[in-house]
């Protein structure tokens, strides 16, 4: 079983920040997961929500804001005074931190106008020599665009998650190397995905017993908000 830190060590640190990713990498996780939008001036911004309201001291839609304005936001204060002053990172900052130390589950929320965000992400993956450890996760539009822009960048199917059998079919259609099931996935879908050679992610599990149960069912990678808890149990196995 491999462990993917969902938005970094997100139960303890401000999610989707360099602090959260650094903490997860220090724990020795196999992968980190993060979310990307394209700013108004073309910078890939790490943020889960389409708006900055929930996770920062500001307001606004990420795709309508410039990178300069986004950098002014405090992405830590919502988590407590200890984290005040932590900033939203861009893709380049996360890749500089992660280097070749960890796998990269890059959830692209929207391909951007003219598939611009897809192109920027694929370009960074190629330039930094990360084709063996970085993959793009997304819905139909992202998967189709990433296959078109640069087919050699690995893909993870998020489309069809409410219907696991269809999700396997979509993963095959978009020539994905893996797919990301939700917790309600039946054993038959996991088995079929494995037979098709697909790596199976699970979103999500935060309890060791629960996570190992999914691993025994054939799940390869567990996304978790509590990577420290699962890593401790994994090392004891």
pLDDT of 167 over the 80 cut: yes
Beta bridge partners of 108: 36
Assess whether 101 carries a catalytic annotation.
no
The whole-angstrom separation of Cα 166 and Cα 171 is: 9
Cis peptide before 95 (omega within 30 of 0): no
The whole-angstrom separation of Cα 181 and Cα 186 is: 10
pLDDT the model gives residue 235: 76
Q: Please, what are the domains in the chain?
A: 2-236 (3.20.20.190)
List, for residues 102-147, the tens digit of each pLDDT value: 999 999 999 999 999 999 999 999 999 999 999 999 999 999 999 9
Active-site entry in 48, 100, 101, 107: 48
pLDDT of 188 over the 80 cut: yes
Smallest CA-to-CA distance from 154 within 221, 230, 211 is with 221
The whole-angstrom separation of Cα 171 and Cα 75 is: 34
pTM assigned to the model: 0.98
Active-site entry in 6, 100, 101, 107: 6
Assess whether 107 carries a catalytic annotation.
no
pLDDT of 35 over the 80 cut: yes
């Amino acid at each position: 079983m491999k462990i993917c830190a969902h938005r970094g060590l997100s139960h303890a640190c401000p999610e989707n920040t360099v602090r959260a990713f650094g903490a997860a990498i220090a724990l020795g996780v196999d992968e980190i997961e993060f979310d990307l939008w394209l700013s108004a001036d073309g910078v890939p911004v790490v943020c889960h929500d389409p708006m900055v309201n929930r996770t920062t001291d500001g307001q606004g839609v990420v795709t309508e804001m410039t990178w300069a304005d986004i950098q002014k936001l405090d992405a830590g204060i919502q988590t407590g005074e200890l984290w005040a002053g932590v900033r939203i990172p861009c893709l380049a900052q996360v890749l500089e931190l992660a280097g070749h130390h960890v796998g990269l589950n890059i959830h692209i929320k929207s391909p951007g106008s003219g598939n611009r965000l897809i192109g920027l992400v694929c370009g960074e993956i190629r330039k930094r020599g990360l084709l063996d450890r970085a993959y793009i996760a997304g819905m139909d539009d992202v998967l189709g665009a990433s296959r078109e822009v640069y087919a050699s960048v690995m893909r993870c199917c998020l489309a069809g998650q409410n219907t696991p059998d269809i999700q396997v079919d979509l993963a095959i259609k978009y020539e994905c190397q893996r797919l990301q099931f939700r917790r309600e996935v039946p054993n038959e879908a996991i088995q079929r995905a494995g037979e098709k050679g697909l790596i199976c992610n699970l979103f999500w599990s935060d309890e060791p017993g629960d996570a190992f149960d999914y691993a025994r069912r054939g799940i390869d990678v567990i996304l978790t908000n509590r990577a420290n808890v699962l890593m401790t149990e994994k090392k004891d196995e």
